[in-house]
Structure 1
Amino acid sequence: MSASSDRSAPSWHGTTILSVRRNGRVVVIGDGQVSMGQTVMKPNARKVRQLHDGSVIGGFAGATADAFTLFERLEAKLERHNGQLMRAAVELAKDWRTDKYLRNLEALMIVADKDVTLILTGNGDVMEPVDGIAAIGSGGNFALSAARALTDYEQDAEKLARRAMQIAAELCVYTNDQVTIEALASAT
């Protein structure tokens, strides 16, 4: 089945986003590469950003315009639910899955606040990683594997995330080493 015939399946090509929660910090890091087929269109895109006055950070993989639409919707949900990320994420996921317009958006998101890290998908999934490490995108499995392997050796969340992204960029042709990173103090 082609990607165009299954519009509900998320697009896994074109980016890598990783979140690491360790020792009182949570970081979300993303590479900067934007690809069209086999061509690098832009090496330094900013796919990670602060939301809700900096109390939430998030990154996206997939179609850029779709991701911006989802960030705007999440911002509205965060406002409506007084910054409660879990509640806002569940409400966004419900809309994303059931709304005819949103259902066609091809993106994935990782969002985090001081308490929780979540992966959001267009299938209505709101998943919390058990180990505080989450990754999405074309290089997501490389970044996730590297981050998990590094947890015994690196306690600093930002250093761990940067090294894991460096490893992902060495392995995935859709991931580069020009990263954007956002960090927050974490409750865990």
Structure 2
Amino acid sequence: MHATTILAVLDDRGVAMAGDGQVTLGQQTVMKHTARKVRRIYKESILVGFAGSTADAFTLLERFEAKLEQFKGNLPRASVELAKEWRTDKYLRRLEAMLLASDGTQILLLSGNGDVIEPDDGMAAIGSGGSYALAAARALKRHTGMAAREICERSMAIAAEICVFTNDKLVVETIDKG
């Protein structure tokens, strides 16, 4: 998935999720600098970040919200049900996007391949700058005492220095462990 970076970091207080604001058209044109790719959903209790085609991401986000309503905010159950539908539905199967979701106690990565992955180290990233942000986050988490929010902010700044599809106009949201 190109043209964005989303990073989520879990610590003992909860989770922070950051997304850059860049929207590109093709490989050469920046259309917007301040898009909001990280949002609170389901009664403000779930954070979700998306990468990929904007229309596809919004379609998935809408479906995910419906699953969360159906399963009363149960993040793992809603995620698995969305992934199953995404993989088997003829229309949804063609969508090109990925989601990161967190309820403050866990982070899940959802993909159109039917994946629902909980990272081992409490950190996950998606998008073209995801690998850069994740590498920076792992180093900061292992070698500093920074909180999740600060790790997200600093890691995203590093990704923005390296990835041309990532900018430094961040949206950072946090949810405390419940």
Specify the TM-score bucket, using the shorter chain as the normaliser: over 0.9
Distance 1:154 1:106 in 2: 36
Distance 2:96 2:80 in 1: 18
Look up the match of 1:7: none
SS at match of 2:119: coil
Q: Which runs of 5+ in 1 are unaligned?
A: 1-11
Q: Does 1:26 align with 2:35?
A: no
Number of residues of Structure 1 aligned to a counterpart in Structure 2: 176
Seq. identity, %: 57
Look up the match of 2:126: 136
Distance 1:19 1:116 in 2: 10
CA RMSD, 1 decimal: 0.8
Distance 1:19 1:122 in 2: 19
Structure 2 counterpart of 1:96, from 60, 80, 86: 86
Bigger mean CA deviation after superposition, 18-27 or 171-180 = 18-27
- 1:77·1:92 contact (CA, 8 Å) conserved in 2? yes
- 1:23·1:155 contact (CA, 8 Å) conserved in 2? no
Look up the match of 1:127: 117
**Aligned residue identity for 1:32:** G
Look up the match of 2:61: 71
Q: Give the TM-score taking structure 1 as reference length.
A: 0.92
Q: Which runs of 5+ in 2 are unaligned?
A: none
Q: Report deviation, 1:135.
A: 0.3
Q: Report deviation, 1:25.
A: 1.9
Structure 2 counterpart of 1:149, from 113, 126, 139: 139
Query: For residues 64-111 of structure 1, what are the alpha-carbon distances to aligned partners after superposition, in whole Å with 9 as ceiling and x for unaligned?
Result: 111111111011100110100000000000000000010010000000
Distance 2:8 2:72 in 1: 23
